[in-house]
Amino acid sequence: MTTTLAAKPSRSNPVMPAEAVPRKRPLRLLRHSLALTKRSLIKTARTPEALIDVTLQPALFLVIFVYIFGGAVAGSTHDYLQFLLPGILAQTIATGCIAIGVNLNTDLQKGIFDRFRSLPVPRSAPLVGAVLGDIVRYVIVTGVTLAIGYVMGFRITTDPLSALAGCLLAVLFALCLSWLPVFVAMNVRTPGAVQGLMFALIMPLSFASNVFVGTETLPGWMQGFVDVNPLTHLVGATRGLFLGTPIGNHIWWTLAWCAGFVVVFMPLALRAYRRKAS
Amino acid sequence: MTADLIIEAEGLVKHFGRTKALQGVDLAVPRGTVLGVLGPNGAGKTTAVRILSTLLTPDGGSARIAGHDVVRDAERVRQSIGLTGQYASVDEDLTGRQNLELFGTLLDLGRAGARRRAAELLEWFDLTDAADRMAKTYSGGMRRRLDLAASLVGSPAVIFLDEPTTGLDPAKREDMWDVVRTLVAGGATVLLTTQYLEEADALADEITVIDHGRVIAHDTPDGLKRVVGGQTLEVRPADLTDLGRTAAILSEVSTGAAADEIRKGVLAVPVAGDAALTEAVARLAGAGVAVTELSLHLPSLDEVFFTLTGAPQKEEVPA
């Protein structure tokens, strides 16, 4: 292995490739982001244990909450399952997006991001690629939550189209919300800090909402927060789309929050990422 | 300044908080040559490479690669450089081939072009058999070769090698040296940082010595060796009773100094050049002295620094 290396150069020279001039094509950002998306997907496929937070966790939460609190909260475990499932979906999405922040923060401390930075690649491509690569996780979490719910007795009472719209809305929300942990990841020093900070943000959002209980049971002073909480709107929207409950403006508020996350945190995350190079 | 400098840096300054990593560094590398940047840990070598490869913006001074400013025209610079070092590595969860194909795609070689280039480099670096294994399963030597291959995907005109052989065993080091020579023979320009005078001597056309963020010497390897003194010849006679005779013979081939017993049973003398080695071998053989070890050493980095700065090298925090 070591002896042959010196002899080889005479045959082919790495400095003189078959194709020396890189081809310029349009849509570089998209193409480069997709190449980096593929990288994330390969990594996800290699480490299925990294999917525990979007598979085992929703299953555990459904089982624990439905069978322990169902009777007390809703009088029947089946009624509570119907009520809770969209909430658990939203909560798992919110906690599931913490992983991208942890992963990116870890990546930043390895050499691979410096390699990306030394290539003629749009600076945002590694971050956009990572976010897009997480689509697969959010599709999995949606599928797993619904499948387990079905086994436990959950039934969609609307039509397939509405149900599909609910699933798509959940995945879209997840992608947009991801920019928050990405932003956090660019600004703290350790993966543990990303995890800790994100949990501190996600926990109040999950509980001070309509995820686990009807909001009318919550104290008045909390209602103001609950009413603007993005998870409340996502759950309101998916509940309406899955079960036909009154949907109000929940879809619009959810979309507005999606836009808000992207408009605010994507540029901030990219700016922080660029600044890492100075 | 000649027109054909492919790497030019003037007065590079970089501070990290109160740490002055670079305090006005000039570098100049003619096209098709190798510059060795020699210095201890924390001297500023890596900071200089990071600025030249657009990963860091300097606080002062300017640098151009192939005529493009590393700050204002960073995108153009990135098209003509390849970077290998502890901080520009590959994705350990991807296979060697997937890594190289990813970088090919990011360099706009196209799908088929990226695949072809990856296969070419894997073959050239003797990684074809390991191509479809995850990079984290590679041995140290294979990892270095993959890192280097990754920096060559875009056929860069300028290649930065940051301590390319640190931690490699001597045989692997020689392999890496051969690769560098081949790259230069193919027309590339190489800037390599190293802590080993041997490495700079083996590869570089010129050597820039950096310490505490400043250039303290710039010369050809021979020029530098003349300044810091010649080499040291070390001999271990097979029989300890021959120590006295060996010392006498060594003193005859030395630059004048008497032989010193630097370790138990090992004698050393300063010598003027390579010729002293053959001379010593002939004389020892003539006298019938059997030896178990005989080697010629360049001065250590410590000695280089002692000569250039007149002070022993101080431990410093790596930048």
| A56-80 residue pLDDT tens | 999 999 999 999 988 888 888 999 9
Confidence (pLDDT) at A10: 38
Q: Test B185 with A9 for CB contact under 8 angstroms.
A: yes
What pairing do the DSSP bridges indicate for beta strands B5-16 and B60-65? antiparallel
Rounded to a whole number of angstroms, the distance between the first and last alpha carbons of chain A is 40
Which CATH number covers residue B193? 3.40.50.300
Q: Decide which of B225, B240, B260 is a domain's last residue.
A: B225
Which among B55, B120, B182 has the least Cβ separation from residue A277?
B55
Region B91-103: mean pLDDT is 94
B200, B244: one domain: no
Longest dimension (CA), chain B: 70
B140, B279: one domain: no
Instruction: Kindly calculate the radius of gyration of chain B based on its CA atoms and give it in whole angstroms.
Output: 22
Confidence (pLDDT) at A202: 93
Nearest to B214 by CA among B33, B63, B14, B8: B14
Dist CA A125 CA A128 (whole Å)? 5
Q: Decide which of B225, B246, B268 is a domain's last residue.
A: B225
Query: How many domains would you assign to chain B?
Result: 2
Instruction: Say yes or no: ipTM exceeds 0.85.
Output: no
Confidence (pLDDT) at B299: 74
Helix (H) or strand (E) holding A262: helix A250-275
Confidence (pLDDT) at A112: 84
Residue B86 counted as domain residue: yes
Q: Test A9 with B106 for CB contact under 8 angstroms.
A: no
Confidence (pLDDT) at A192: 94
Residue B310: how many CA atoms within 13 Å on its side-chain side?
0
A118: chain B residues, CB-CB within 8 Å: 53-55, 78, 81, 83, 88
User: How far does B223 lie from chain A, in Å, by closest CA?
Assistant: 29
In order of A6, B4, B75, B127, the CA distances from B134 in angstroms are 25, 41, 30, 12
B235, B198: one domain: no
Contacts of A217 (CB under 8 A, 6+ apart): none
pLDDT digit string (tens) for chain A, length 278 residues: 443 444 344 334 555 444 444 445 557 888 899 999 999 899 888 888 888 888 899 999 999 999 998 888 888 899 999 999 999 999 999 999 999 999 999 888 887 888 888 898 888 899 999 999 999 999 999 999 999 999 999 999 999 999 999 999 999 999 999 999 999 999 998 999 999 999 999 999 999 899 898 888 888 888 889 999 999 999 999 999 999 999 989 999 999 999 999 999 999 999 998 877 55
Confidence (pLDDT) at B264: 87
Residue corresponding to tokens 């590339």? B188
Backbone φ and ψ for B22, nearest 5 degrees, come out as -130, 135
Sign of CA dihedral A41, A47, A51, A56: positive
Confidence (pLDDT) at B109: 92
pTM (2 decimals)?
Answer: 0.79
User: How far does B287 lie from chain A, in Å, by closest CA?
Assistant: 37
Residue B97 counted as domain residue: yes
Which among A13, A17, A35 has the least Cβ separation from residue B102?
A35
In order of B35, B52, B67, the CA distances from B158 in angstroms are 11, 10, 12
CB crowding B188-214: b at 16 or more within 10 Å, else e:
bbbbbbbbbbbbbbbbbebbbbbbbbb
Confidence (pLDDT) at A161: 96
Residue B136's domain spans which residues? 5-225
Contact indicator for A249, A256 with CB cutoff of 8 Å:
no
Which CATH number covers residue B286? 3.30.70
Confidence (pLDDT) at B311: 64
Dist CA B218 CA B135 (whole Å)? 38
A119 touches chain B (CB under 8 A): yes
B64, B204: one domain: yes
Residue B221 counted as domain residue: yes
Confidence (pLDDT) at A148: 95
B99, B246: one domain: no
- Classify B195 as helix, strand or coil: coil
B220, B236: one domain: no
Decide which of B76 and B272 is more confident: B76
Which among B78, B121, B141 has the least Cβ separation from residue A118?
B78
Q: Decide which of B225, B258, B280 is a domain's last residue.
A: B225
Dist CA B18 CA B177 (whole Å)? 37
B102, B84: one domain: yes
Residue B210 counted as domain residue: yes
Whether pLDDT at B318 is above 50: no
B214, B179: one domain: yes
Confidence (pLDDT) at A59: 92
Residue B302 counted as domain residue: no
Structure confidence by residue, pLDDT tens digits, B223-237: 887 777 677 888 999
B214, B280: one domain: no
Residue B312 counted as domain residue: no
Task: List, in sequence order, the alpha helices (H) in B204-313.
Answer: 221-228, 243-253, 275-286, 301-309
B153, B244: one domain: no
Contact indicator for A185, A108 with CB cutoff of 8 Å:
yes
Residue A183, amino acid? F
B238, B201: one domain: no
The β-bridge partners of B35 are: B191, B206
Residue B161 counted as domain residue: yes
Confidence (pLDDT) at A117: 87
In order of A89, A148, A154, B213, B233, the CA distances from A56 in angstroms are 12, 10, 18, 53, 67
Residue B310 counted as domain residue: no
Structure confidence by residue, pLDDT tens digits, B1-59: 455 899 999 999 999 888 889 999 999 999 999 999 998 888 899 999 999 999 899 99
